[in-house]
Amino acid sequence: MTSTKQNRNAQNASNSNNVTQEYDAIIIGAGMAGMYQLYKLKKAGLSVRVFETGSGVGGTWYWNRYPGCKFDSESYSYGYSFSEELLDEWQWSEHFARQPETEKYLNFVADKFDLRKDMEFNNKIEDAKYDKESKRWNIETDQGIKASATFLITAVGPLSAHVMPSYKGMESFEGGSWHTARWPKEKVDFTGKRVAVIGTGATGVQVIQEMALMAEHLTVFQRNPNWCAPLNNDLITDEEQKEIRASYPEIFKKCNETNGCFIHSPDERSVFEVTPEERDELYEKLYADKGFGIWVASFFDTQMTEEANVSRTEFIAKKIRARVKDPKLAEKLIPKDHGFGTKRVPLETDYYEAYNRDNVLLVDIRETPIEEVLPKGIKTSDKEYDFDYIIYATGFDPVTGSLNRINITGKNDVKLKDKWADGPLTYLGIQSSGFPNLFTLVGPHNAATLCNIPRCIEQNVEWVTDAIEHMRSEGLSEIEPKLESENRWTQEVITMGEMSPFMKVNSWLSGVNSNVKDKQTRSFQVYVGGAPAYREHCEEEAASGYAGFELS
């Protein structure tokens, strides 16, 4: 499509709801994946339009603007790696950047590569339907914009469909109240306020440690405690900055060699081949180091078997007992039903110390369940609490949730949501049969979900771009997985998952959110075989001329 036609489409987008805009590709979402996919497809000469619900770029880093929101991956391992110029121009201020800095970074990227002109903000795609006659996807947004394209690429994120609990009376609350993923853009002053936080996952932990310092009084409603470990964040010194700049290629190479694409790699020793002193020495070192080391750089088998994980779990429990002054409270904060690292580990800064403060109260809602939300606060089975604000840090409808919220209909009038009712069926976590030319970046069954996500986003995007370029150069118009490829991959995901410690406990990694009707039990949503193995599968597929797909 010519740029004149594109400009006309852009005009149509704002002026008329009746004209169907036509593109080569439509991307859903202007987060990190959508932005890079747009950049790559534009470079490949396609006409592309991105539709985004929010009013700006950033995805996760646009929506999650709660106090305390920041990276758990090292900033310099998280940014895009595709442009040396970008790497040279951008400077992170902290080892783990806060949300405002990340949002600023993504706006910087959007400006630098002139991405905004191909984006339609404040438009949520509600319907997407494949027309097998024209071999095109037709979409419609909540603002009535209609568009069609050969390729539909979802970049909606695995953790973006936020969910609220369903307590009686929630709508009657007279104070301020919202989910962490829908935090207001205006600054909220919590000085002198009584605040409730419900939920103690990675998000809750970040809010709680910050809110303890801001609110007059904070009450944390905890159902199940999580194993947390220190983030050990710090400013990046000029000296470190120079080193980072000089070693970007090694940083990204190292990331890409590890299973989760973090810069930490596992210790090659088994926990059983070292002395108790050597064991504790490594745990102490990792606990004092920055980032996820204590989770992913421990003895390799601690992340593989329950027996090997026992000493690490005991070590962390000891740390919590040492950090929380009240021994009874410490026990409430220590998980008893799963080992360290079997759920996604929240990283924290003085989280446990927050509970030593006079203005912070922990309510264990397994002992005294929440019965209802009242106009003035929350009623548990034994007491009423008054609040000015209630914050829901209650998580997301994981992985398939964001796709299920779009009405996606394939070539045989089958809805993606229905096809996946008993669990996702995909090939390489990127396509599903019956849905030609639909690519799901960071979709279910993809390694990207369990990854230092931009590293895997870049891989996903580059693979999809190559596939599309291959089709265009061969004059092909449709690509979808062969049924046997889909069955094989789905089985591979299940086989790997069955061996994984993540599947032995309820969390979003095992596909569970207690507030979502069809996510009450565990399901295989994520490929746990690691990013390098996943990448190899994808590369083999491309090298075979996409033999696992039907191409026409």
SS3 of residue 43 by DSSP: helix
CA distance 213 to 357: 9
Looking at the Cβ atoms of 438 and 457, the one nearer to ligand NAP is 457
Looking at the Cβ atoms of 199 and 443, the one nearer to ligand NAP is 199
Query: Which residues contact ligand NAP (rule: CB under 6 A)?
Result: 70-72, 159, 165, 198-204, 206, 221, 223-224, 344, 365, 393-396, 508, 514-515
Whether the CB-CB separation of 157 and 59 falls below 8 Å is answered with yes
CA distance 333 to 323: 11
Amino acid, res. 68: G
Whether the CB-CB separation of 200 and 226 falls below 8 Å is answered with yes
Whether the CB-CB separation of 72 and 231 falls below 8 Å is answered with yes
Residues 6+ apart with CB under 8 A from 551: 471, 474, 476, 478, 479
Whether the CB-CB separation of 58 and 106 falls below 8 Å is answered with yes
Instruction: Report, in Å, the least distance between residue 208 CB and ligand NAP.
Output: 11
Instruction: Report, in Å, the least distance between residue 324 CB and ligand NAP.
Output: 18
> How far does CA 349 lie from the centroid of its chain?
21
Residues 6+ apart with CB under 8 A from 407: 126, 127, 128, 129, 415, 417
Instruction: Report, in Å, the least distance between residue 176 CB and ligand NAP.
Output: 19
CB atoms within 10 A of CB 164: 15
Whether the CB-CB separation of 96 and 231 falls below 8 Å is answered with yes
Instruction: Report, in Å, the least distance between residue 236 CB and ligand NAP.
Output: 17
Instruction: Report, in Å, the least distance between residue 225 CB and ligand NAP.
Output: 8
Instruction: Report, in Å, the least distance between residue 263 CB and ligand NAP.
Output: 15
Residue among 99, 138, 107, 104 at smallest CA distance from 35 = 107
Instruction: Report, in Å, the least distance between residue 204 CB and ligand NAP.
Output: 5
Instruction: Report, in Å, the least distance between residue 468 CB and ligand NAP.
Output: 29
Instruction: Report, in Å, the least distance between residue 346 CB and ligand NAP.
Output: 7
- For 170, the token pair is 């929630």
CA distance 334 to 179: 25
For the CA atoms of 533, 538, 541, 546, the dihedral, rounded to the nearest 10 degrees, stands at 160
Instruction: Report, in Å, the least distance between residue 164 CB and ligand NAP.
Output: 8
Whether the CB-CB separation of 527 and 493 falls below 8 Å is answered with yes
CB atoms within 10 A of CB 273: 10
CA distance 338 to 306: 9
Residues 6+ apart with CB under 8 A from 277: none
Hunting for tokens 């914050």 — which residue is that? 391
Whether the CB-CB separation of 123 and 145 falls below 8 Å is answered with yes
CA distance 383 to 368: 9
Instruction: Report, in Å, the least distance between residue 7 CB and ligand NAP.
Output: 38
Whether the CB-CB separation of 390 and 193 falls below 8 Å is answered with no
